[in-house]
Amino acid sequence: MLFDDLKSANADVWRAYTHHAFVEGMADGSLEEASFRHYLVQDYLFLIHFARAYALAIYKSRTLDEMRAGLDGVKAILDVEMGLHVQLCGQWGLTPEDIEGAPESRATLAYTRYVLETGLRGDLLDLHVALSPCVIGYAEIAERIAGPTGRTNDGNPYGIWINEYAGEAYQSLAADARTKLDTLAGGPVSSTRFDDLSRVFSQATRLEADFWQMGLDCAD
């Protein structure tokens, strides 16, 4: 699969992201709560731009099926995921006013604008490659740190987040995202095209790691 090839070509960058200290802190429950709250606020702001990215995917689509897929992504974020995120923030003492009125951190600005710029200058495959470290990476991270029984009942304060992304629904979404990359590629890509996609993947993955670091530092 194209995703696996991209991940293999950027193994060190991928590991730095998926095994970041923020992630490991969630895994064992040692992450500072202030760091997680800061991350939650910025992740909500990121979702706004994520919805815009799927709206851009509609524009970049070549077929009605691709347009419908982009629309499904927009609706899933705006109608479902953002509401769930507000509920999660509420469990951590964050009100809608806290998250909607917060300024975007530099890490949020850098990552979201990179994804959108990549989609604007490239095609639908470029855009989905830029999104893949987030969409697929969260599934891989959560599956690894959840383990065979999950972490909801072991006193880990981050068990809800872990099990949400390790759950069947999100794992299925991530699997579909993998397949989507292969469908958009339309078969093996040339070495030149792969190098271009690999650069996009690498930069997006680095920006994902920076997003974790932003949360860890609780800094803009």
Q: What is the maximum alpha-carbon separation in the chain? A: 50
Task: Establish whether 134 is a catalytic residue.
Answer: yes
User: What per-residue string of b and e applies to 35-71 under the rule 16 or more CB within 10 Å gives b?
Assistant: bbbbbbbbbbbbbebbbbbbbbbbebbeeeebeebbe
Of the candidates 89, 104, 140, 208, the residue annotated as catalytic is 208
Q: What are phi and psi of 104, to 5 degrees?
A: -70, 135
Whether residue 218 lies in the annotated active site: no
Q: Choose, from 89, 104, 134, 140, the residue flagged as catalytic.
A: 134
Write the CA distances from 148 to 26, 142, 151, 175, 182, integer angstroms: 16, 11, 9, 19, 29
d(CA 107, CA 220): 7
CA angle 113, 190, 54 (to 5 degrees): 30
Residues with catalytic function: 134, 208
